[in-house]
Amino acid sequence: MRRYIIGVDVGGTSVKFGKFNLEGVLLEKWNIRTDRSENGENILSNIAESIKLMVDLKEIKGIGIGVPGPVKDNIVVHCVNLNWGRKDLVQELSFLLQDKDIMIRAGNDANVAAAGEMYKGAARGYNTVVMYTLGTGIGGGIVLNGEMMEGVNGAGAELGHTIVDFRHNFPCNCGKKGCLETVASATGIVNLAKEKLIRSKLRSPLRRFETFSAKKVIDYAKEGDYISKQTIEEAMRYLALAMANISLTLDPEIILIGGGVSHAGPYLIDLIEKYFYQMTNPFIKQANIQIASLGNDAGIYGCAYLIQ
């Protein structure tokens, strides 16, 4: 009996697996290393082998896969992080598993994470969700009426690369400047803090370090350090701007923040809300901006959602 769903969240350094029952209860999870050698040719076969080792294929209803790149109609358009070009995941994985009765679905990892939060996390009960995953970069996920926003080129919901800043000109990995990611991700927070340290002569505990993390800036901000506070406030103002513009575009039911930076919790939400209302539609009286709840498991939950 096909009573399990497998969620596979493929990242640049590791692949996360989750085994779920048909109700979406996570029964077991495990990881393997992402082998990016030989143009990432081994990744899918390693995934297939790992699934076979852990679960009897005859018991699998479907496999959902999240990929860190644009995906359109279950086909990966390209994926720099995995050294993949265009890839038909359904066909290739089906061939590797030699079981045509296993349903295979794929989506962009950040969209899938948003779907996961909707399925079993902080956005449960909603069906129109926007999610910002604030890590080294910013992943953007959009689910509209239960469907992930793929866009015509698979490039929908690239929210980290919407342009919000014309002041700092920090370079983004994408080649542009002014992207949300350059001013509101962990990298962005460090960018802003370093600039403030150079431009001001104020004391700050940050001056003790040659390099420091966004977490350090947030911790010092909470302790009252002026430069750290100004940094986090500015980063959250940019995020609030992005969210206000999203609410004027999609008017979603809920906006989530996830990723490492979001662990700072209500402190960030308060700052975001302070600016959000100044910039959104005046008749939106109550934003529903929340912290995501599934952490690193959002991806595998979303992969399981793809098989519903």
Shortest distance in whole angstroms from residue 70 CB to a second copy: 7
- Sign of CA pseudo-dihedral 210, 213, 219, 223: positive
| Nearest one of 73, 10, 20, 31 to 304, comparing CA atoms | 20
Hey, what are 221's tokens? Answer: 């901000």
The H or E element spanning position 31 is: strand 26-33
- State the minimum distance, in angstroms, from the CB of residue 103 to a second copy: 22
Residues touching a second copy, count (CB under 8 A): 46
Q: Using the minimum distance from each CB to a second copy, give the nearer residue, 174 or 202.
A: 174
- Find all residues with CB under 8 Å of 136, minimum gap 6, and list them: 185, 186, 187
Cα three-residue angle 294-112-266, rounded to 5 degrees: 35
Assess 174 for contact with a second copy (CB under 8 A): yes
Q: Does 274 bind a second copy (CB under 8 A)?
A: no
DSSP state of 84: B
Residues 238-267 interacting with a second copy (rule: CB under 8 A): 241, 244-253
Least Cβ distance, residue 58 to a second copy (angstroms):
36
Q: Are the beta carbons of 97 and 39 closer than 8 angstroms?
A: no
The Cα–Cα gap between 224 and 244 comes to 27
Give least dist CB 44 to a second copy, A: 22
Q: Does 125 bind a second copy (CB under 8 A)?
A: no
Residue 116 as a binder of a second copy (CB under 8 A): the answer is no
123 binds a second copy (CB under 8 A): no
Selected binder of a second copy within 62, 66, 137, 156 (CB under 8 A): 156
Read off the amino acid at residue 188: G
- Residue 51 or residue 77: which is nearer to a second copy going by CB? 77
Spatial CA neighbour of 64 closest among 281, 305, 233, 256:
305
Residue choice 22, 55, 103, 279 for contact with a second copy (CB under 8 A):
279
One of 128, 136, 230, 296 touching a second copy (CB under 8 A)? 128
Q: Give 279: exposed, middle or buried? Use CB within 10 Å, 0-12, 13-18, 19+.
A: middle
Contact 40, 83 (CB under 8 A): yes
E strands of 24-152, at which residues? 26-33, 60-67, 71-72, 75-76, 87-88, 103-108, 129-134, 138-144, 147-148
For the bound state, the minimum distance from the C-beta of residue 290 to a second copy, rounded and expressed in Å, comes to: 14
SS3 104: strand
Q: Does 176 bind a second copy (CB under 8 A)?
A: yes
Min dist. Cβ of residue 171 to a second copy (A)? 13
Closest CA to 194 of 167, 175, 162, 170: 170
Minimum distance, C-beta of residue 27 to a second copy, in the bound complex (Å): 34
The 61-80 contact track toward a second copy, x by CB under 8 A, reads ---------x------xx--
CB of 268 to a second copy, least distance (A): 20
Name the site residues for a second copy (rule: CB under 8 A).
70, 77-78, 128, 140, 142, 144-145, 147, 149-159, 161-163, 166-167, 174-176, 178, 241, 244-253, 278-279, 281-284
